[in-house]
Amino acid sequence: QVQLVESGGGLVQAGGSLRLSCAASGSIFSINAMGWYRQAPGKHELVARISSGGSTNYADSVKGRFTISRDNAKNTVYLQMNSLTPEDTAVYYCYLRAGQVTEIDYWGQGTQVTVSS
């Protein structure tokens, strides 16, 4: 089984920074992408994604402020979040997409990010 463990969430003041980590373990093959979603009242969106080839995608709301990166050797993805605002407050979920013929998504447990004004 594949397990994703997230860390790095917490409480931060507006303008501050946080770095989220997501470490995957288990029987993983053919990782296609890893990324982050966030969920809050009235909001459920893809924040960032990085493909196996290294290409990245970001939500418009975080472009220029968030950076996604990965360590393939450790099957770990990171999300550096800078210039945080209260609108970034949400539960952040890490995901991993794997498979060749059939793709399967795995999800982390979620980590709370709270940005105070």
Write down the pLDDT at residue 101. Answer: 87
Tell me which DSSP letter residue 110 carries: -
46-104 pLDDT per residue, tens: 999 999 999 999 999 999 999 999 998 888 999 999 999 999 999 999 999 998 888 99
33-51 pLDDT per residue, tens: 999 999 999 999 999 999 9
What secondary structure does DSSP assign to 35-83, as a single string?
EEEEEETTEEEEEEEEETTS-EEE-TTTTTTEEEEEEGGGTEEEEEE-S
Write down the pLDDT at residue 3. Answer: 95
> What residues pair up with 83 in beta bridges, in sequence order?
none
Helix (H) or strand (E) holding 106: strand 104-107
